[in-house]
A and B are shown apart, each in its own frame.
Chain A
């Protein structure tokens, strides 16, 4: 277990597709300094504009961009245009950055049937394909724990089991992602208010506002937050072009990111990618305020529990069994 761990890069558990190892970009420190001064990571070194708006004015615009919640509609539109141009320069992809607001009367909740989960990690793969996480170093939002049957001691869980040979005899599986706490310790920790709870109950991050202090990572009881230790790397083919400002748009080096219950999908009435990918139907998602929703059915008819509910963070992620 020890060797496997040290070999996998920073945060990722092995998944079937197997991405390449982390390699440091060998760039001059001076270029890096310039990149730092002008913001936006790898921007400066790359070629200039393709569709209006110069690279330089974009980097300056990005550097002085205001907090998402403080920007006017016009400023957000400008910011989105900059982000889309930047994605073209960085990844050669034509992305669309949406800004759909929360739907009134909707608070999202998630439930997971642990007696159905077999540990195949399809949710982990689908999450990466949907949410544009860096492939190298690899970032994953969902961590699947393999536990001995009859016990739930997280300290004895195996995070690096082989998903080809599951379900293993005598084991059960516990996938963990952001629990979207109603009383989130992570947003309290942030010194600059770069992460907050949206009216639909989802905790989001403004990737242009985060200063990268990682206090939220220390505060999270579910180990649900990830840091971009290097420039995120992913190829044009891997990019999901349907994005949202507060969710799966491209990230920057040095900022924190996390699961948003796929709000680029769920705010448009679709289901999270992890749910759609689950071959065993272990996942249930829906509007907690709608008495006829699937999630409400589970909460009212199944025996449910929440992970670390004793910490008082009031998570909106439940586990249940048949």
Chain B
């Protein structure tokens, strides 16, 4: 195991000038974020754009989106392990890397949102006072931690056995894979419930929220994976098969359709007979009392999702690789807006006492958020580097049978 760790670290650091420039660039942005986080620690959260009225902002919005990305890795796991598709199996480990990176980003976003991060130990059972199972936030901490450990465990087991020149023992990991599939649904459901549980926020207090979350997650997550796989195919010797992109693309298409249907269901219920509950939606879609800060955001999100829907649902358009990629990019951004500016923020506007105070993130908040994303990219890059090196048989245990390790990569 020690040799594996040393080889992995060596592999993470090995690479051409472009690879090192990528790592260096990410690190630089992370350092900018660290500087602004220092400001936030020094002056308090007043450096953010949040207020008592809008008490969650960019951090929780990104957190919500990324829980979806983490959950979406399951859309590679299901075809690979449950339907036993060989082509998807080749990339499923990269999906696990996405899940791990997204989980860590989620945890980082929640941590930077804390007013007293040095008290995070208060959450530890026994030592602290963990309000489980009453608090939904406590639930979220539990499900995310377990999901991270599941993915990390499965990934390390499979990569390590391949590194050692053995075939992974299906009996050993398959039950955990099944558990991780169920768990993926749970993390996003619990995150939705975190919002749904607030009776004081009618905009979130709707049963469709958890299904909507899953639909939008299975839109944007797999879309992100499609673009990522193509980038990996371009810059490494690892070639992703066209059929993988197509099957994941199909998942994006169906999820897009379901997501927009759910949105329609929600809008009908909100607007057909407007009650007091419609105020946030009115503010979001049309603006209210002269405030319309979120109107351009939500309509650009809906436009992006609709264009993506048309492209992905029309076979001729989808068959065009460029359009296919454009649709994926639109779905990624569209859902990101829909879940952040379109869901978290309007939940706070108007306040339970009917006041409208608009929110826009401060530069500190924006840089810290970008930096957290870069932490995710960095983690994914380093993990994927090792995974690909093992898959391609570039690193292996001394004396390991090279043939076994390469079987998957050579399957074509």
Q: Which residues in A have some Cβ–Cβ distance to B below 8 Å?
A: 1-2, 5-6, 10-11, 22, 24-25, 27-33, 35-37, 39, 63, 67, 69-70, 137, 143, 145, 153-157, 159, 176, 185, 188-194, 209-215, 217-223, 225-231, 252-256, 308, 311-313
Contacts and interface: CB of A to CB of B under 8 A. Distances in A.
Interface string B119-148: 110110000111100111110010000000
Contacts of A193: 129-131
A63 B116 CA distance: 11
A221 B130 contact: no
Interface stretch (B84-92, B158-166, B345-353, B369-377): B345-353
A215 B46 contact: no
B42 interface: yes
B115 A154 contact: no
B350 A155 contact: yes
Given A33-B42, A185-B198, A155 B279 contact: yes
A10 B351 CA distance: 13
Closest 3 pairs (CB-CB, A-B): A212-B115, A32-B42, A254-B115
Interface stretch (B47-55, B67-75, B257-265, B389-397): B47-55
B115 A5 contact: no
B42 A29 contact: yes
B114 A191 contact: no
B43 A2 contact: no
A221 B354 CA distance: 11
B38 interface: yes
B407 interface: no
22 contacts: A10-B51, A10-B52, A29-B39, A35-B42, A67-B122, A154-B276, A176-B353, A185-B199, A189-B136, A190-B135, A191-B138, A192-B129, A194-B129, A210-B116, A211-B119, A213-B137, A214-B56, A218-B347, A222-B200, A222-B352, A229-B50, A311-B200
Contacts of B114: 211-213, 254
Contacts of B289: 1
Most buried by A among B116, B129, B347: B116
Contact of A230 (B43, B136, B276, B347): B43
Given A32-B38, A213-B114, A214-B56, A227 B45 contact: yes
Given A25-B43, A188-B134, 19 more contacts: A6-B357, A11-B52, A11-B53, A27-B43, A32-B43, A39-B118, A145-B353, A189-B136, A190-B137, A191-B130, A211-B120, A214-B115, A215-B137, A219-B198, A222-B200, A225-B52, A229-B45, A253-B115, A312-B199
Nearest to B110: A213
A29 to B, nearest CB: 4
A190 B39 contact: no
B180 to A, nearest CB: 24
Contacts, number: 203
Q: Which of A37, A227, A313 is the most central at the interface, judged by chain B CB atoms within 10 Å of its CB?
A: A227
Given A191-B137, A253-B115, A223 B45 contact: no
B35 interface: yes
B43 A24 contact: yes
B254 to A, nearest CB: 32
Contacts of A29: 35, 38-39, 41-42
Contacts of A159: 353, 355
A37 B289 CA distance: 44
B268 to A, nearest CB: 21
A185 B200 CA distance: 9
B42 A27 contact: yes
B353 A157 contact: yes
B56 A218 contact: yes
Contact of B44 (A30, A70, A254): A254
Mostly, the A contact residues are: loop
Contacts of B52: 10-11, 217, 223, 225-227, 229
A228 B110 CA distance: 18
B290 to A, nearest CB: 6
Given A159-B355, A230-B43, A211 B131 contact: no
B55 A211 contact: no
B46 A22 contact: yes
Interface string B184-210: 000000000011011111000000000
Nearest to B350: A155
B113 interface: yes
B115 A209 contact: no
Contact of A189 (B115, B129, B137, B291): B137
A193 B130 CA distance: 7
Contact of B123 (A25, A191, A222, A229): A191
B131 A221 contact: no
A228 B38 contact: no
B117 interface: yes
A194 B128 CA distance: 10
Nearest to A5: B357
Nearest to B283: A155
Contact of A190 (B45, B119, B131): B131
A308 B351 CA distance: 14
A211 B141 contact: no
Given A70-B129, A254-B44, A211 B354 contact: no
Q: Which of B38, B55, B201, B347 has the largest number of chain A CB atoms within 10 A?
A: B55
A211 B116 CA distance: 5
Nearest to A157: B354
